[in-house]
Structure 1
Amino acid sequence: MKFFIWDFDGTLYDTYPMILPAVMKVLVKNHVEAPERDVYRMLKEFSSKKVAETYDLDFAAFTEDLHTFENADQREPLPFEGMAETLAEIQAQGGRQFIMTHRMADDTKRLLALHGLEGYFEEIVGPERNFARKPDPEAINYLVDKYQMPKNQTVMIGDRFMDVLAGNAAGIASCFFDNEQLLNDVPADFVCRSPKEILTLLEK
């Protein structure tokens, strides 16, 4: 593989310690009682949109409240241990790297810059581009077309079903980042359980 399209939350950075409490606060605000473990699994298996739909909440309002609670959390998420070294090695071996995320691109760049990682990525595609949300492959197709990525040398890496499904739908390889071993039967071409293991994709 030469072209690496990364998800951000839960793949490059361990953001769930900030996201999950914020989601739970949104549910409490809307008088919804839900087990935290069930909500976490829903986030990992699907997305925040699925949480809103499950509890019959308006997704736009849910998202606005979620961002409010996230922004109130003064903790900054960290990249997964070993991720910086993996990004550097991919670049050193001629790999090209991109991000496709539901997080706003400016905030993604800010977090990357805090740890000196912004220089590893040629482009970040966030929701402000108004592409269809994952698992729709529209954003991947945009990157593939713009950078003339050979599909047999391109991989989508993410920690959720939607990342894998988006890669599959775009006709590129998919890699499930399974650091927690929480989900089963994910239809990915590759499964990697650590940042270091992702380096094996350079040989695929």
Structure 2
Amino acid sequence: MFDTYPVMLSALKQAITKHGIQYDCELERFVKEKSIRQFADQYGTQAFLDDYHQIETELQQAPTYYPEIPMILKTIVKRGGQHFVVSHRDDKTYAYLGELRPLFTEIITSDHHFARKPNPESLCYLIDKYQLDRNETVMIGDRPLDILAGQHAGIKTILFDEAAIFSKQQLKADAIVTTWEDFKNEY
């Protein structure tokens, strides 16, 4: 919903410089394929990760959503659908959603202490709590861990791959969209 990656990458680069970390990967691809936490595990320390989070929080003050998002969300709700957020971010997620927050039935953040994606624990919780039909439930995400979480929960998946990093065959997502303009509400 939000293009937070430019700020995340800027914060990551600042933390890398501060800690003098040497790495042998393409940062954006690594972060999308894995996570910043895995980057810290492989190349950094907990202090590095803590500094990254502090820098990212300072820089990521008011992320804006993609322009098509409000209409997509409203259309689905108007048709009787529901939206949920499952985020590795903390409760700042509520502020990020801003005026869109009422369009979500429930928001799960890292502060809820579910297992991290790709573990489907949070998705299964939502499916059970709201008695969602797995055949009509879709996980939309922009990283492999999102798609894997949806697959592990037994629901359909849509990969938002704006940078065209992944292939459908690589992740076996049910659908891939590279722009929100391409999103079709029949998914």
Q: TM-score, normalised by structure 2?
A: 0.91
**Structure 2 spans left out of the alignment, 5+ residues:** none
Q: Any residues of structure 2 matched to 1:1-204 within 5 Å, and which?
A: 12-34=1-23, 38-55=26-43, 57-58=44-45, 60-73=46-59, 75-105=61-91, 107-113=92-98, 116-184=99-167, 185-200=170-185, 203-204=186-187
Supply the distance in 1 between the matched residues of 2:175 and 2:121 (Cα, whole angstroms): 22
- Could you tell me which residue of structure 2 aligns to residue 7 of structure 1? none
Give a deviation string over 1:11-46, Cα, whole Å, max 9, x none. x101012111111122222211347x8111111111
Residues 154 and 172, structure 1, Cα contact 8 Å, conserved in 2: yes
Aligned length: 185
1:80 counterpart SS class: coil
Letter in 2 for 1:94: G
Residues 157 and 177, structure 1, Cα contact 8 Å, conserved in 2: yes
2:12 counterpart SS class: helix
Letter in 1 for 2:4: T
Give a deviation string over 1:49-104, Cα, whole Å, max 9, x none. 2211221x23x434321221012226521101211111111111111000000011
Deviant stretches of 4+, over 6 Å: none
Letter in 2 for 1:50: Q
User: Relative contact order: is structure 1 or structure 2 higher (C-alpha 8 Å, sep ≥ 6)?
Assistant: 1
Residues 134 and 166, structure 1, Cα contact 8 Å, conserved in 2: yes
2:83 counterpart SS class: strand
1:33 counterpart SS class: coil
**Structure that is richer in strand per residue:** 1
Displacement of 1:189: 1.1
2:159 counterpart SS class: strand
Supply the distance in 2 between the matched residues of 1:163 and 1:180 (Cα, whole angstroms): 16
Residues 147 and 157, structure 2, Cα contact 8 Å, conserved in 1: yes
Q: TM-score, normalised by structure 1?
A: 0.84
Range 63-72 or range 116-125, more displaced: 63-72
Supply the distance in 1 between the matched residues of 2:81 and 2:131 (Cα, whole angstroms): 14
1:142 counterpart SS class: helix
Residues 112 and 118, structure 1, Cα contact 8 Å, conserved in 2: yes
Residues 139 and 155, structure 2, Cα contact 8 Å, conserved in 1: yes
